[in-house]
Each structure stands twice: as C-alpha cells, then as structure tokens.
A = this chain, B = another copy of it.
C-alpha cells in the first residue's frame, strides 16, 4: 500500500485536557453584560441555568482544563476520531495540495456535538441535576444531548422547532430511541409557548422561541438545568479535542497545515479544529491561515457587525459581544439548519476581529456541488453544514492547482448527512434555491442593536 489515507490513534491518545484559547489571546474577551444593568455578569447570574463547573469554564483563563475521566471513558467509544488524507479527492481535483479531513461523523449521533453533550451531561449529573432542557433546530444537537442523557441517567427534554419536528421525523425518532422527550415548539408546556399559541395556533416555531421554552423550564426547577450546543465559551472549549487530535495525527503524517477550514454557524466545530492550532501560533508556533466558511444566506462573520447583542429573539439572554446580523434578523430557509443563527460565538468573533482568522460565505447549491463531488471520491456523505467546509477546502485546493503550490489543507468534516437526505433529493431534483437575505431587513436588524457604551 502507498502512504496512509487514515491516521488512527488508540484510546490512550484521547486528549487529557481541553485547550482554552482565552489563555493565549493577545486581548481579552469583552465581558458578558446583564441586559438590565449593562454591568458584567457574575457567576450567580448564570447559576439557575448551568452547573457551577460549566460557569467556571466559561470564564477561566487556565490554558488547560482537565477532562474528567468519566467523560474520557465515554469519548473513547469513537475518539480519537480518524484523520483522513483525501487522496482520491486530490486525484479527482488534480491538485498538488495535500488535503486532510478530520471526520466527526463517527460519533453515535453522527456529528461533533457529543463532544460537548457528554461533558455537559457529566457536570450536570455531578451537580445532582436529574433533567436537562434544550432546543434543537435540525436535530443534530438534540440527538447528541439525548445520547449523553441516556448514558448518565439524565432525563432530556428537547424543544424542537415545530417545522423541523414535522419535516424531520427521523431525527425525532433518533432522540426517542435514546429515551429523550421531544416536544414541538411552541408548546402548551410553557408560558412562553402558550402565549405564542394563543396568537397563532399553527405557529411554525423558531429557534428563539424554543430557547425561551427550554430556559423557562430550567429556570423554574432546582433539579433541572439548561444545555446549549454551541456559541458559549465552554462549548467551544469541549470541542478542542478535535484540533488536538488532528495535531497529533498530522504529526504521524509528518505534516502541518498551511490552511485550516471549518464551517461556522454558532462556531463550535470551527473552534474545535482551529483553536489548538491558533493557540500554538499565538505562542510563537507556525503561522497558519484559518478560514471560516459560512452560508451566504446567514453571513454573520462577513456581513454582520461586531457588537453587543442578545443571543435569542425574545431578548431573555445576557448581552454578548459578537458578530451579529441582529437578533431580530430572520435568515431565509436553507438546508444547513445548523448554520442558521443570527450571531457567532464570542470567541470566534473576537479572533476574527483581531484579524487572526478569515471568513468567506457561499451559497448552498455550490456547497452541495462540492459535497456530491466529495461523496463520489471519498465515499462519505457530508451533512449540509459540513458541505460548506468541503467547498472551502476544494476552493483552497484549486487555488493550489492554479498556483502550482502543494499546501497542506486541513478541514473539519463535522458530521454525516444520513438524516439530511431530503436536502440531497431536492438538490438532485433541481429544487434547491440560493436564497439571499433581505438587505433592508438586515439593515433594520443592525440598526436595532442595543446601545451599549463599552469601556475603553
């Protein structure tokens, strides 16, 4: 056989700590603010929603946060995940580039999301919590938390945006197989749900509403907390196992990335692969270009403003400084539901603002073109979200071809598309549209950002 296509590590090589980029930032993150007082939030403000260990992880400046043994015990079912050299794709593209991808679809739920779901379930269990509430759109996050809940004996209640609940019954079935309760949102189970149903009985729901319902229930009960699948610092922290493993695997290949590509919605899979490399660079290591790929229909990094904003539509969350399209901005519908969020993780926004990463935006049909080309060469069928990273990596590889340069490109293939086949059917039937957002709506949403005067 020729050189390897797959770099595997045994389970003793699962990282022993998560990497915290806050320790290496040239400038600290802006504080999270209380929406009433506009003063920095204290740990107690978050205590009704999260166990203290996670609140501490949200703000810690320690470079290495130890991964508890029970979390590593679960990780080892699918971690270290494989790193692939995409030799057949390289051949198909006739590129001199060396393309590597880290494949997170090997987790039981089929994406990178269990990396944080398992950690969050563990810390909640340790804090005596018996129930977790959360929201889900496309269902990747909901099924991951359902999986983690099953392992730690925690009841999981998932508020699933009603239109997805109706359109994606198989994701729901997966959550139920893991024993979770899946509720279409808006629901009659919460005050916020009932208020919306009173106005419109057949309301299709939104992520913002589902968040409100999940938060409302968690805030009311001592035995119940809330879990979020992206955006927050501790969620990004848990994903850094991805990049740490990739670094060890590229060492096996005697290689180091010139370019790293990840898709960005809330920012967690992107940060997971990129931050360990970015941290090494910030500590004096090799420079690496890092490219965030986002959907053109919801382009928070390329068209949003870096400003304080709410995390939800109903303005129940604290104010965080991030790249945002405005919390009232409604992105048009497209198939990469996991990238359909008005804001961007504060940490990803911050490093973008510092000029440490680049961002590009693509329309979805070009991403599906890339995904199908990838599937035919590499065999793995990517999730619509992951197709954005595939497209970004292919474009970088074609640049190498045009310039006659052999660069090492690393991207995160964050999940498989087995539960997204309707999107592929629409693609093949020519039904996929490249919808653009409404420029006027974006301008209005940005104009409506809360006025926050920042300390110099």
Taken together as a complex, chains A and B put the C-alpha atoms of A381 and B150 apart, in Å, by 13
Interface with B: A48-56, A166-174, A290-298, which one?
A166-174
Is A6 interfacial (CB-CB < 8 Å)? yes
- Nearest chain-B residue to A372 (Cβ)? B177
Question: When the two chains form their complex, are residues A177 and B108 in contact, meaning their CB atoms are under 8 A apart?
Answer: no
Interface with B: A263-271, A317-325, A403-411, A417-425, which one?
A417-425
Residues of B within 8 A of A378 (CB): 77, 108
**Interface of A: prevailing SS:** helix
Is A73 interfacial (CB-CB < 8 Å)? yes
Instruction: Determine how close the nearest CB of chain B comes to the CB of A335; give it in whole angstroms.
Output: 13
Picked from B6, B12, B375, the residue with its CB within 8 Å of the CB of A177 is B375
Question: When the two chains form their complex, are residues A73 and B2 in contact, meaning their CB atoms are under 8 A apart?
Answer: yes
Is A250 interfacial (CB-CB < 8 Å)? no
Question: When the two chains form their complex, are residues A376 and B5 in contact, meaning their CB atoms are under 8 A apart?
Answer: no
Picked from B2, B151, B376, B418, the residue with its CB within 8 Å of the CB of A150 is B376
Is A125 interfacial (CB-CB < 8 Å)? no
Is A398 interfacial (CB-CB < 8 Å)? no
Taken together as a complex, chains A and B put the C-alpha atoms of A210 and B69 apart, in Å, by 52
Interface residues of A in 246-297 (CB under 8 A from B): none
- Nearest chain-B residue to A7 (Cβ)? B10
Residues of B within 8 A of A1 (CB): 11-12, 69, 72-73, 76
Residues of B within 8 A of A12 (CB): 1
Residues of B within 8 A of A334 (CB): none
A106 in contact with B108 given A177-B372, A376-B178, A379-B147 (CB within 8 Å): no
Taken together as a complex, chains A and B put the C-alpha atoms of A380 and B377 apart, in Å, by 26
Q: Which of A72, A170, A419, A424 has the most CB of B within 10 A?
A: A170
Which residues of A does B touch, CB under 8 Å?
Answer: 1-2, 4-6, 8, 10-12, 69, 72-73, 76-77, 84, 88, 106-110, 147, 150-151, 169-170, 173-174, 176-179, 372, 375-381, 416, 418-419, 421-422, 424-425, 428
Which 5 A-B residue pairings sit nearest by Cβ, starting from the closest?
A108-B379, A170-B421, A418-B418, A173-B421, A150-B376
